[in-house]
Structure formats: structure tokens, C-alpha cells
Amino acid sequence: MVDPRQKFSGSQVAEVAAAMILICWRIVDRAAENLWRDWLVLLSLYWIFSVFAGKQRAWAAGTMVFLAGLTALYLSSHLPPTLQFWTQRP
């Protein structure tokens, strides 16, 4: 958990600002219903998480959850067409 009394460095503020700019850009550029599958939004959220949890034990668990989510997202969009291609009869 982040201590509210903690002071953040200028680089941490810049990193969070950059990630937020990317998220805002994707919100303007993409349809709202597709944002949960947008890898750039997910990567930006992970970037923000890593700024706040980078030196805590939660970082490893958060990274594992993030990677599992990206793998599930990849498989959900690429596995069905691949299986359909390989199961077609000539």
C-alpha cells in the first residue's frame, strides 16, 4: 500500500503523466467498449502500477497478474482463428 505521506520524485510524476497521456489518447482514438482489450492501455496501467509498487512485494504479484492477463487477451483473439485454420478439411 502506498503511504499517503510519501513524497514522489519528479521522475515518478513524469512517468505517471506520460502513462496518463497515453491512456487519454487511446480513449479519444478508440471506441470505449474496446479499451479493455487495448494492449497500450493495459501497458500504461501497468506502468502506473509499477511506479507506485516498484519497491514493494506486491510488484511481483502484480506483474504475474498483468502477464497472465496479456496472455489470455492474446489467446482469446488469436487461438480461435488458428484452430479454425488447422481443423479445416481439404
Q: Per residue in 17-52, pLDDT tens?
A: 999 999 999 999 888 888 888 888 999 999 999 888
As given in the structure block, the three cell numbers for residue 45 are 496501467
CB atoms within 10 A of CB 23: 20
The residue whose grid cell reads 502506498 is 2
Q: How far apart, in whole angstroms, are the C-alpha atoms of residue 48 and residue 36?
A: 16
CB atoms within 10 A of CB 71: 10
Is residue 68 in some structural domain?
yes
Range(s) of the domain holding residue 65: 10-86
Q: How far apart, in whole angstroms, are the C-alpha atoms of residue 4 and residue 6?
A: 5
45-54 tens-digit pLDDT: 999 998 888 7
Report percent pLDDT > 90 for the chain: 27
Is a pLDDT exceeding 70 seen at residue 14?
yes
Is residue 3 in some structural domain?
no
Is residue 20 in some structural domain?
yes
Q: How many domains does the chain have?
A: 1
Is residue 1 in some structural domain?
no
